[in-house]
Amino acid sequence: MSSPVMYKARCPNCGSTVRLEQKPELESLVFCPECDETLEVVSVNPLRLDWAYDDEDDDSDEGFVDYDDEDDDDDYGDLPQDRDDW
């Protein structure tokens, strides 16, 4: 009787081996049994895990306003287009 296929990858947080019984899908979340870190599958062949990105912690847009510059052509004034003209 053959043993079931086991998928293995290293935890980027603690370095322990994370074993999965089923082939994971790309971007699925798994948990490290040693450090309880939530990890994301970033590659399935070979199987690689990375820290999961948490949208709730993302405040990169905080304090910024979207700005639509309608005349992008004038942003750099009369700079020479050819590097030899510098």
What is the distance between the alpha carbons of residues 7 and 24, in angstroms, rounded to a whole number? Answer: 8
CATH architecture, domain 1-54: Single Sheet (2.20)
pLDDT tens digits for range 33-78: 999 999 999 999 999 999 998 766 555 656 666 666 666 555 566 6
pLDDT score of 13 more than 90: yes
pLDDT of residue 49: 98
| 8 Å CB contact between 42 and 30 | no
pLDDT of residue 82: 64
Give the residue extent of every domain in the chain. Answer: 1-54
Pairing of strands 29-31, 17-20: unpaired
pLDDT of residue 47: 96
What is the distance between the alpha carbons of residues 43 and 50, in angstroms, rounded to a whole number? Answer: 9
pLDDT of residue 2: 61
28 vs 72 pLDDT, higher one: 28
